[in-house]
Amino acid sequence: MSETVVKIENLVKRYKDLIALDHFSLEIKQGEIFGLLGPNGSGKTTTINCLLSLLAFDKGTIEIFGKKMTPDSYDIKRDIGIIMQNVAVYDELTVGENIDYFCGLYINDSKKRKEYVEEAIRFVGLEEFRKFYPKKLSGGLLRRLNIACGIAHKPKLIILDEPTVAVDPQSRNKILEGIQQLNKNGATIIYTSHYMEEVEQICTRIAIMDKGKKIAEGTNEELKKMIKNSETVNIDMFMIPENALSEIRDLPHVYSAEFENNVLQVKCDGGTHNLIRILSILQNHELKFGRVYSELPTLNDVFLEITGKALRDSD
């Protein structure tokens, strides 16, 4: 069994009358890429700030590497890399100097630090920009610099708080690939985002948050199994008579069939050959249809089914 890297128990954080974290608990094992998914304001960043001992909390305990985390836990902090939501670099220092500065907060040996800085520059692909000042970098490159500053000292635990906000697709892919590479190199990752596609793509385990609470936790597959929906069939067509719709609703594993905006949407809770059975009914009624496509459930469906609202609608 893997060692527990982060353990949060019953964390409560209040801002006057607002409960930002409501008895939030979490356990992250070594080697995981753990995703904290939730809409803006769900408590992801608050959790990270409490985890880093930046934010005082009202109740609960936090342990990292098996030790209680406090502001003076320098031995723990030494092994943590943090990539903040807001880019935190000095405008007056070049790319190389910024990375050296932040790396130097953790690594005293200048020779070793020089190697680490070079590795970090190569890792984020900023070799050509090492003499550039941050203001000369694009949003994507700036995010990469932010990441390099956070990981240069080779931490065992890396916390990335929404690292891809306002980043172009190319840089986003580069960042996501980089995170997976860091994980392969041995680092445990905590990744917060409100982009479910990113979380689905890279995270080995996911906790979904809403209003300061953990509403679900598990692997991508486990989360999707928690909900009724296992397949959604969409068929573009002009009309469908009520008797045909009733036949579809009566099919085994179909729990919802609705026709709206010239699209027939059928939701199934399992089974096989659902699509073939639906198309047979349409053919039997000699109904014409256009595009047909089947969707597997997403984390948004998980969020929707648990909270009654879509993840994106909550932003």
Partner 1 sequence: MWHNFKYDFLVCLRSKDVILWMLLFPVFLGTVFHIAFGNINASNAFEAVPVAVVMESENAAFRTVMDEITAGEEPLFTVTYADREQAMKLLEENEISGIMFVDDSVKVSVSGLTSGTVINVKKTIVKSFAEQYNSTAAIIEDTMKTDISKLPSVIEALSEQVSCNEQLPLTDGNTDNMLGYFYNLIAMVGLLGSNLGVYMTVDNQANLSPLGARRCCAPRRKIASMTSALLARFAAETICVSVSLTYLIFVLGIDFGTKIPFVYLAGILGGFLGTSFGFFVGSIGTKDGDTKSAICIAASLTCCFFSGLMINTMKGMVDTVAPWFNEINPAAVISDAFYCLNIYDDYERFTTKIITMLIMTVVFCLGGFLLTRRRRYASL
Quick one: 35 or 96, whose CB is closer to partner 1? 96
Task: Dig out the tokens for 160 from the structure.
Answer: 């990335």
* Rounded least distance, CB 10 to partner 1, Å: 18
**Residues forming a β-bridge with 205:** 34
CA separation, residue 208 to residues 47, 180, 189, 216 (Å): 13, 20, 16, 5
Burial track 147-179 (b if 16+ CB lie within 10 A, e otherwise): bbbbbbbbbbbbbbbbbbeebeeebbebbbebb
Q: Which class for 131: exposed (0-12), middle (13-18), buried (19 or more C-beta within 10 A)?
A: exposed
Residue 97 vs 119, nearer CB to partner 1: 97
In Å, how far from its chain's centre is CA 54?
Answer: 22
Q: How far is the CB of 247 from partner 1 (least distance, A)?
A: 57
Least distance in Å: CB of 135 to partner 1? 11
* Least Å from the CB of residue 167 to partner 1: 16
Amino acid at 1: M
Nearer to partner 1, 46 or 171 (CB): 46
Nearest approach, Cβ of residue 177 and partner 1 (Å) = 24
Encoding tokens for residue 193? 């985002």
**CA 187 to CA 79: how far, in whole Å?**
10
Given the complex with partner 1, which of 109 and 250 has the nearer CB atom? Answer: 109
Compare residues 24 and 102 and give the one whose CB is closer to partner 1.
102
Contact 274, 231 (CB under 8 A): yes
Nearer to partner 1, 149 or 196 (CB): 149
Binding site for partner 1 (CB under 8 A): 15, 49, 52-56, 71-72, 74-75, 77-78, 80, 82, 84-90, 92-93, 97, 100-102, 104-106, 108, 149
- State in angstroms the smallest separation of the CB of 294 from partner 1: 44
